[in-house]
Each structure stands twice: as structure tokens, then as C-alpha cells.
Chains A and B, each alone.
Chain A
């Protein structure tokens, strides 16, 4: 009889993590987000270690964008199940709807449920984004799992509460005019600063605020509901630009 022996990743002490982060972030194999950023890598390694991931695996499975860690939906689901909670994901393909339900280990009778559908995606300004057009059901599944996990058992997520893509990558700055090739050819000319990759996808044009969000903001402005609405947007995983808009419009009033 043979036993399957699962190799457990070796835990590193903080000085070893720091040394590791300094070395690996100098290499080309490390994800771009961590290149020459040992501090970010150190955070990811620390978070990963808490989840039982090896240092290298942590760098590939955890992203740190705008100071917020995010991970794949699979990793978030694994953390939920590892903590002993029951996670069910129901996909309703014809209606483009995904429901995630978590029964906590310490309260197994009570379901925590989150449903995500395309109406929700539209209201959050996500539906026109490239990945949402290509694989909407997968994106709905990811968002349902992360929102449900945040709601039911955020303590099981080790601080990694968002799925990849939920935290938006900041837009790359355009080439400054004074440093362009065109300015060397025609000093008086203003170069176009369109990034071809970004220009290709209308969803990547300067982000817009959905009408539904604008209407709700107008409705709750100056009322006690303003704080609740911001909290709700945050909980629902609203994109950064929508959250910023709501905060700008509503918190100044308070």
C-alpha cells in the first residue's frame, strides 16, 4: 500500500522572506507587477504563507494592485473550503446568472447567498469590458464567489478578498510630449498619445459612470443613505472609478 505524500511548502522567517523578495524581484521570470518591487513581493509572500502557499506560488497567485491584494477565484474558494465552510456555486447559463452560497461551519443552517447577473454587471459598468464580453459566465462566477466570501467569512481569506480583475490596474501614463519621437521631428507638433492596445477596446476608454449609479447618487445625496450606498458599492465590488465618483459626490456633502 502506498501513501500519497503531499509536500508542504517550507515556511520562511521574515528575514528569509525579505532576502528572497529582494533576489527574485530582480529576475525576468517574476510577474511584471513585482519586478523591482521587493516590498510588494514581500506582502504577497507573507499572505501566501498564511494560506499555505510556497513563496514562488504566492507571487504567481496573488496580485497586489493599488495596494490591494487579489487572487484567483479558485484560491479564494480553496481558502473558504479549507476553513471548513461549505461553498456551492450554481450557474444558470441561459439566464447568465451565477449564485454562490456559503454555509459557515459554525452556523451550518444559515445560507449566505450572493447572485451576480448581467444586469448587475451593466450597473457596475463592467459588461462592456473585454473579458466580460469574452467569458461573461466565468466573470460572474468569480464575482459571485468573492462577494459571497467577503460577506460570509472574510476572516478565512487572509486579507485577500478580491478576485483578479476586481481591483483595476492603473492606466499607464501617456508618453510625455517633450520626450516623444515626434517632438524631435516637429518640435511644435503635439504627438498623439493613444495606446494602441487600449484604444482597441472601447471599454478601455476613459471609464464612464453608469447612469444607474449617477441616478442613485443623486437620490441619496445629503441623506443618511449616502454612507450606506458607498458601503454597498464597496461590498458589491464596484470598480475603483465608480467608488471614487460616489465618494467624491457623497462624502463632500457630509
Chain B
């Protein structure tokens, strides 16, 4: 269904993602070179990666204390025919199959989050996964904050490294700064509430270290500008029904650092 502008609780993940409003993941992709073509392909060929399952379950059991989605498969891995059959059966029933060891891991991650004072405060007494839809000059935009407190949105991230410096790289590479900007802007536009935004990160391997990260205003402003760029590109693509890949550009020059390396090699002959 197409949701009208507003804030909705209890919208299933499937319904939220099925709504045609443009979300953070799409804008991040469209803002990049080749993004429109990749986005169009993924719309027609949605992909599911098993790697997402652990994160999805950690979100469910942490944000909503809900383990009804998970189907634990008692197998060491997915290599046996029985394990694969059980996995398919679980998916057909609308469940998320997890190996027993991964279910243990998901619960350990949840426990690590809640053992942290900031994690406990972030994921207690919050509004969980509210769906927010906003009409941005004729373009419907949506966000779904993991945890919403008065004046604060928190995004739970399961990651390889919660270390500030490494997570900082992910913020740039994976466009989290764009998510930050979109979430606070859409919530502000839809409700008038001025929110800050924080990332609560938990590592996927023991000892499941956690961290809290927030971005400064300059970084968020870059996200805002990238979102505006993505929305402009999306509008143009929609209007022309053309979804370009990479542009044809002029000749590429040898990068300065490579020139130095090659000169040194050639001189040493």
C-alpha cells in the first residue's frame, strides 16, 4: 500500500519496504556514479543476503524484544541437504532461519548492548521502528528510526568493528552520514520535532564490543547535500524514465602519486 504522509507504528518491515516512497538506502545508491542504473536493476531483481539475517534478528530482539521471527536451525552449517531444506522451509513460512550458533551470537550481541549504560538507555523506553512518510515537493520520502526518544533518534548498527576510527570509515563508505541527515530532516518535516542522531554500534564477533558515535554538523550537512543531489537525480530519472549508468568522461590522467612511483621505477633502470 502507499502510505499517506505521517507517522505510523506497527508497520511490518515488508510493508514499509514495499511502499514506493524513496528511502535512505535508495538515496545513498542513487547519489553515487552509476547509482540510477544499479537502483533500477535492484528494483527488478531484489537480492537477499544471508549476511543480513543476523542483523535483522539482533534488531528485533533488542528493539522490540521480539524473537517470533527467528527459526533456529539445529545444524553446524548450511552444507547438509537437511539444513538447506529447513532453511527454505523457514523462509517459505516467512521466518528468518538462523543456525543455532548464530542465534546464540545474536543473543550475546543483544546482551552486550543492554549491558552497556548507553545501550540500555538507548533501547529502553523508546518508540521502536516507527515508519515516517513525508511529501517532499511531490516526492514521497520515508525513514524508519530504530529507536526514537524525545528529541533523539538512535540507529543500531551491527558491524565488524565498532572502533571509532574504523566505524568512521564506514560512515563515509556506506553513506551513514546521508542516513543521519535524512532521518533528522524527515522527522523534522513530518512532525516538527528537532532531533539529534546517534549510532549505537555492536561488533559481530566476541567479545561484542559496543560504541556510541555521533557526527558533527558539518558531516551531517554533507549528507544533506548528497540527499538533495540524489533526490534531484531521482526526479529527473523518473520524469525521463531513464536510469543512466556511468557517464562517458574525458581521458584519465595518471594520478600524481603513481607518476612519482613510475618515475622512480624508470629512473632506477
Q: Do A and B bind each other?
A: yes
Check B118 against A185 for contact (C-beta < 8 Å): yes
Given contacts A138-B256, A199-B168, A200-B165, contact A182 B214 (CB under 8 A): yes
Check A196 against B257 for contact (C-beta < 8 Å): no
Q: Annotate A192-232 by CB proximity to B: 1 below 8 A, 0 otherwise.
A: 10111101100000000000000000000000000000000
A10-66: which residues lie under 8 A (CB-CB) from chain B?
28
Residues of B near A194 (CB, < 8 A) are: 164
Interface size class of A (residues with CB under 8 A): 20 to 34
Contact of A181 among B152, B164, B167, B257 (CB under 8 A): B152
Contact of B168 among A28, A135, A185, A197 (CB under 8 A): A197
Given contacts A28-B225, A181-B152, A200-B168, contact A191 B214 (CB under 8 A): yes
Total A-B pairs in contact (CB under 8 Å)? 69
Check B264 against A93 for contact (C-beta < 8 Å): yes
Nearest residue (CB) in B for A185 is B121
Check A137 against B264 for contact (C-beta < 8 Å): yes
**B169, B171, B212 pick with most chain A CB within 10 angstroms:** B212
Given contacts A191-B214, A195-B216, contact A184 B260 (CB under 8 A): no
Q: Tell me the complex Cα distance, A134–B225, Å.
A: 30
Residues of B near A195 (CB, < 8 A) are: 168, 216
Q: Annotate B216-232 by CB proximity to A: 1 below 8 A, 0 otherwise.
A: 11100000010000000
Summarize B's interface: helix, strand, loop or mixed: helix
Q: Tell me the complex Cα distance, A93–B262, Å.
A: 12
Q: Decide if A7 is an interface residue (CB 8 Å cutoff).
A: no
Check A135 against B121 for contact (C-beta < 8 Å): no
Nearest residue (CB) in A for B261 is A135
Q: Tell me the complex Cα distance, A189–B218, Å.
A: 23
Nearest residue (CB) in A for B264 is A93
Q: Decide if A128 is an interface residue (CB 8 Å cutoff).
A: no
Nearest residue (CB) in B for A94 is B268
How near does chain B come to A219, taking the closest CB pair, in angstroms? Answer: 37
Q: Decide if B113 is an interface residue (CB 8 Å cutoff).
A: no
Nearest residue (CB) in A for B180 is A181
Q: Tell me the complex Cα distance, A192–B165, Å.
A: 13
Q: Tell me the complex Cα distance, A174–B214, Å.
A: 11
B149-195: which residues lie under 8 A (CB-CB) from chain A?
149-152, 154, 164-165, 167-169, 171
Contact of B218 among A28, A172, A184, A200 (CB under 8 A): A172
Check A175 against B214 for contact (C-beta < 8 Å): yes
Residues of B near A180 (CB, < 8 A) are: 196, 214
Nearest residue (CB) in A for B211 is A192
How near does chain B come to A90, taking the closest CB pair, in angstroms? Answer: 12
Contact of A185 among B169, B198, B213 (CB under 8 A): B198
A143-181: which residues lie under 8 A (CB-CB) from chain B?
172, 174-175, 180-181
Given contacts A135-B257, A196-B168, contact A181 B196 (CB under 8 A): yes
Check B165 against A199 for contact (C-beta < 8 Å): yes
Check A184 against B164 for contact (C-beta < 8 Å): no
How near does chain A come to B121, taking the closest CB pair, in angstroms? Answer: 5
Residues of A near B171 (CB, < 8 A) are: 196
Q: Annotate B74-105 by CB proximity to A: 1 below 8 A, 0 otherwise.
A: 00000000000000000000000000000000
Check A192 against B212 for contact (C-beta < 8 Å): yes
Nearest residue (CB) in B for A93 is B264
Nearest residue (CB) in A for B199 is A181
Residues of A near B196 (CB, < 8 A) are: 180-181, 184
Check A175 against B168 for contact (C-beta < 8 Å): no
Check A196 against B164 for contact (C-beta < 8 Å): yes
A77-109: which residues lie under 8 A (CB-CB) from chain B?
93
Check A135 against B149 for contact (C-beta < 8 Å): no
Q: Annotate B115-154 by CB proximity to A: 1 below 8 A, 0 otherwise.
A: 0011001100000000000000000000000000111101
Contact of A138 among B197, B216, B260 (CB under 8 A): B260
How near does chain A come to B158, taking the closest CB pair, in angstroms? Answer: 18
How near does chain A come to B174, taking the closest CB pair, in angstroms? Answer: 13
Check B169 against A200 for contact (C-beta < 8 Å): yes
**14 A/B residue pairs, CB under 8 Å, sorted by A:** A93-B264, A135-B256, A138-B256, A175-B214, A181-B214, A184-B149, A184-B150, A184-B196, A185-B122, A185-B149, A186-B117, A195-B168, A195-B216, A199-B165
